[in-house]
Structure 1
Amino acid sequence: MSSTARLDTAEHIAAQALAEWGLPSSTDDAAGNSWLVIGLPQSADTSPSVGVPHVVLYVFDPFGDQDEVMVSRAPTGPLDHWCAVAVDSKGVQRPLITRPIPQLGDCVEAIADWLTSPQG
């Protein structure tokens, strides 16, 4: 997590919940969007190496601007949802789980289950 993350941002909220499960996360961004990258610890670096299965987590409003994916802002309302995308060792992305903001625990559990399951 970025050392400058505000306590109310999705980044901070999710990173805390993930850390409770022993799952390190790091922030990544591009083209005005931001997300958390979650993987099992590989080394002192918390970011998964290329070719290592990982999950990307972000907040979005499925009924609003679906081009915006963000963890650097606070979840703003009842329409915001967490979205987790699993990325396999070949870089193939698949939806993992999407839940309303109050159900972050469901997302963290699904992420932990996917990361600790054998990837075929």
Structure 2
Amino acid sequence: MRGFVCVFLAAGIVGALALPAAADEAYKRCIDTSDGTNPAWAACGGEWVAREDAKLNVAWKRLYAASEPATKKDLLEEQRAWNAFKDKACQFYANGDFGREGQVLHFPSCRAELIAQRTAVLDSYGADRR
């Protein structure tokens, strides 16, 4: 099972990096109306990540509440593994090798997209139960 989870998670990050970022409208608006400074762009990215985290939390709570005890245990283990992966994913943008643009534009975009993908997966699990 652990090997499968690692392969699944690795495939997910490769897929996220291969696609262009599909920023949400609020992020685009924030960037467009910002003063164009790195701190402003970083704030826009942070807000986008926070919005995606909020959507993920709603999907998680809905799925977890509708699940039976054995499934809850398995889902919790899977989510913990995904959280550990998420914390390590996209870090190469934040480490400085991609400059400030990588840190303030690409890192939050990568992270937000990754979270959005996980939300979609959780929603699909819920659809399987209907």
Report the structure, 1 or 2, having the larger helix content: 2
The TM-score normalised by the length of structure 2 is 0.30
Higher alpha-carbon Rg? 2
The TM-score normalised by the length of structure 1 is 0.32
